[in-house]
Structure 1
Amino acid sequence: MPVVESSAVTDRQAGRLKATIGPVQAVSLYVGAVLGSGVLLMPGLAAKIAGPASLLAWIFMSLIVIPLALTMGLLSTRFPDAGGVSTFVRHAFGPDAGAIVGWLFLISVPVGVPVVAVTAAAYARTAFGLNSAGEIGISAAVLGVVFTSNFLGMRLASRVQVLVVSAIVGVIIFVVAGAMPGTTAASFTPFAPHGWYAVGQAAAMLFWCFIGWEAVTHLAEEFVDPRRDLMRSIVLSIVVVSLLYFAVALATVGTSSYGGSGSYASLALMMQKQVGPVAGATVGVTAFLICVAVANAYVGAAARVAYSLAREGAAPAFLGYLSPSRSTPVGGLGFIAVIATLTLVLVTVGAVTLKELITISNAAFMAIYIGGSLAGIRLLRDIRWGVLLAWISLVATLVVYVFLGWAAVIPLLVILVWKIVSWFRPGT
């Protein structure tokens, strides 16, 4: 799951915000929003699913993300609001549709955050040889740190965001440079050991890595020149993110650093193979910090979404409860903490796998992006190429959506439940 900056309640009329974000800062924010725990987890997992042919899935997803990211950018310049995609959908299709998108996001976070926690534990296990009890303890510690810090009102500031992005990029360069000398031609044969359908399944799984292009939309008001810098920063960020992802995927396949439990910590495994245990430990510690930062930011964002939904009457009132002393959304935090903890327990006892959790989260986010693409088709009519980009985004996302399998029904169930609940709401 990628790094997302939590948004504070803003008031431009009160002069609380200044237009200070330029293109360099924007690229840092976007790269941090998209390039997070996915680079730690997905190269090995995708290779396990499709073998060396998973590289084709990486290329395909990198191409798909271009129109999707640009569509989000165009909508952001037109509707610079903290609501992100839910705001776009609300403007296009009304408050009910916007609320459904908000709930999809709220559902995806307590399902996705345990994946990040387990990823941190997997890297710690690989780097330091932890046993099962130690791995469970690390996973629980990640959740504990994340929910405690959010309760205390802590959130990632822009300086911390830059540090996290620098750590991610530094680890990737370090790993790829150390692993490339160990690549062999034999690692690429057979190229598609599980068939070509597995490439589509890998692509659907890789959607996890490209979530986050909507994450900076709520900062559009703080851009010095959003119409110019947003689009430029998105294009540059696409190039940076795609190259970094593909480099790690290529190194993972080329060194055969996947398969079995090693698929969940391929970066640390690569460094242990090529450089030694000290390098693997360095990657493990950095990966742990990245995972904590990612989970912390997403939980903070989801708690605010819960608060917003409750304030608008689209969620139970308790989700909008604020701490009297700290003004933190403890109602939303409590809800997310309970669901995330239960999810982690299910993973621990083997009732659900990381792959299944990622698929569920991906289904929710794909539905969110489908909604955003549909909103773009309606709201960008005066920009000819904007509508074209939105259509391409819609078709491409629908193509990948087909490969979700059983999880494809989850957004439909959310819509159905929302409609049923709406019938019993006062005033509807």
Structure 2
Amino acid sequence: MASLKKEITLIGGIGQMSTTLLGTGLFMVPAIAATIANQDLLWAWWFLILAVCPIAMTFAALGKRYPNAGGASYFVKMAFGPRLEKAIALLFISVIPVGVPAAVAIAGGFAQQLLPSALASPVIAQLLIVALLMAVNLAGSKSSSRLQTAIALGIVLLIGLFLYKGDISGYDVAPHNLTAIEPSTIGPAIAVMFWCFVGIEAFAHMGEEFKNPERDYPIAILVGCLLAGIAYYLFSVVVLKHHAYGTPQLNTTSVPFLANKLFGSQATWLISIMGFLACFATINLYTQSLSRMLWSLAREYKPNSKMAELSRQGVPATATISVGIVIALACVFGHYSGLDIELFLTLANGIFVVIYLFAMWSAVRLLQGVGRYIAMLALALCLVVFFFIGIVMSYAVIVLVLLWLVIPKFTSPA
């Protein structure tokens, strides 16, 4: 049976994990959450980071014990059987036409600033990004992890420059007035901020490609989440101090606003480059994860199909190209249909929360000792986020129920 190449190192894994979490969220979420929670935003980050810790620890424990390209769906299979595994796998795959094109559209907005005028239309920019995704993914996971590590270093440097030019002091960094926190705003803010830690489930698909998964995979998840959390927190401090939030337009342009205020208009090109790279890093890992999900299902249930084959670079080429085609078609449809990007992101967020819920539930059944208790806490925290998001969760729930009903029970081939 074909196996993926084990090429991802610890440093490469940390780079992939952190850039996946920082991606599109850094350019929207701190300002949107600040508009909701105002000065309570810093406390909200403390609460969320503490809440994410058991979730990250549980994914790390599962990945260490069950390193598989199937990711969360494989964990579900081990806990609940193949029928629910396929439902969760297809639920994750259903993100392709909603979540990924939304991220591509955001990246395309930055890319348009860098392209010559003849190519600077939204559709062309997005299709060029899809083509670049294909090139990077087909080159192999080693090249991809190196690229993402370089992007991670660039994002850290950029945030450091914002802190330096923003004249941030220790007083600005520390949260204040714990007793004056407004619970009615903290909850909705955390529900929005949870988007920043969507990506752990995608990284779960990469466990099989680590050189030393038992040692490096858990460390990559935990360190990557910690670095991303610190980066979001510190950037939120800059957003609060310089009031780069408060209106829908300012919320979506907070980074260019801060760059213009702190560095001048000459920094526009730098923000466009970093914005594009940060968004690309997120899309890149999701493209990898989705292609490996398709390949994993084919390897298990249709091992003789083209989808189950690997290229000379050890890449599931057919699955990768299939994902790229769907993304390209969804980008074209999204542009010409005029559907709102925020709608796509909201629908995708609900899908991710459901996947997190089932992954944590699986861990409760699969893990023992302290790990099981941490998984129980993580499951409870995911349920809290589920209810915070509210009615939007109905889309993901309905899709999962439909998938469960239409997927017959089946067994693996002998």
* Interval of TM-score (by shorter of Structure 1 and Structure 2): 0.7 to 0.9
Q: TM-score, normalised by structure 2?
A: 0.81
User: What does 1:123-202 correspond to in 2, within 5 Å?
Assistant: 123=110, 134-135=121-122, 137-147=124-134, 150=137, 156-180=143-167, 197-202=184-189
1:421 corresponds to 2:406: yes
1:263 corresponds to 2:256: no
Alignment CA distance shift 1:303-1:233 (3 Å) = closer
Task: Supply the distance in 1 between the matched residues of 2:131 and 2:388 (Cα, whole angstroms).
Answer: 34
Cα offset for 1:157?
3.1
Contact preservation (8 Å) 1:31, 1:237? yes
Secondary structure in structure 2 of the residue aligned to 1:108: coil
Counterpart in the other structure of 2:283 = 295
Task: Supply the distance in 2 between the matched residues of 1:100 and 1:377 (Cα, whole angstroms).
Answer: 19
Counterpart in the other structure of 1:374 = 361
Moved more, 153-162 or 293-302: 153-162
Alignment CA distance shift 1:17-1:423 (3 Å) = closer
Contact preservation (8 Å) 2:77, 2:84? yes
Cα offset for 1:269?
1.9
1:47 to 23, 34, 52: 34
1:284 corresponds to 2:272: yes
Moved more, 175-184 or 76-85: 175-184
Cα offset for 1:420?
2.8
1:107 corresponds to 2:94: yes
Secondary structure in structure 2 of the residue aligned to 1:45: helix
Cα offset for 1:250?
1.7
Secondary structure in structure 2 of the residue aligned to 1:173: helix
Residue identity matched to 1:298: Y
Contact preservation (8 Å) 2:210, 2:217? no
Contact preservation (8 Å) 1:119, 1:264? no
Unpaired runs of 5+ in structure 1? 1-8
Residue identity matched to 1:62: I
Unpaired runs of 5+ in structure 2? none
Task: Supply the distance in 1 between the matched residues of 2:32 and 2:78 (Cα, whole angstroms).
Answer: 38
Counterpart in the other structure of 1:90 = 77
Counterpart in the other structure of 2:15 = 28
Contact preservation (8 Å) 2:299, 2:308? no
2:65 to 78, 82, 95: 78
Cα offset for 1:426?
11
Residues 98-139 of structure 1 show CA distances to partners (whole Å, capped at 9, x for unaligned) of: 1122112211233222222232244467899x9xx7455434
Computed over aligned residues only, the root mean square deviation of the Cα atoms, in angstroms, reads: 3.9
Moved more, 363-372 or 140-149: 140-149
1:408 to 387, 393, 402: 393
Secondary structure in structure 1 of the residue aligned to 2:200: coil
Alignment CA distance shift 1:178-1:125 (3 Å) = farther
Residue identity matched to 1:10: S
Contact preservation (8 Å) 1:153, 1:328? no
Secondary structure in structure 2 of the residue aligned to 1:10: coil
Residues 292-338 of structure 1 show CA distances to partners (whole Å, capped at 9, x for unaligned) of: 33323322321232233345459xx9993879999854466446633
Alignment CA distance shift 1:89-1:147 (3 Å) = same
Give the length in aligned residue pairs. Answer: 397
Contact preservation (8 Å) 2:111, 2:276? yes
Of all paired residues, the percent bearing the same amino acid is 26
Alignment CA distance shift 1:164-1:377 (3 Å) = same
Greater length-normalized contact order (CA 8 Å, ≥ 6 residues apart): 2
Task: Supply the distance in 1 between the matched residues of 2:165 and 2:6 (Cα, whole angstroms).
Answer: 43
Counterpart in the other structure of 2:54 = 67
Task: Supply the distance in 1 between the matched residues of 2:244 and 2:72 (Cα, whole angstroms).
Answer: 37
Moved more, 108-117 or 327-336: 327-336
Cα offset for 1:218?
3.5
Contact preservation (8 Å) 1:119, 1:265? no
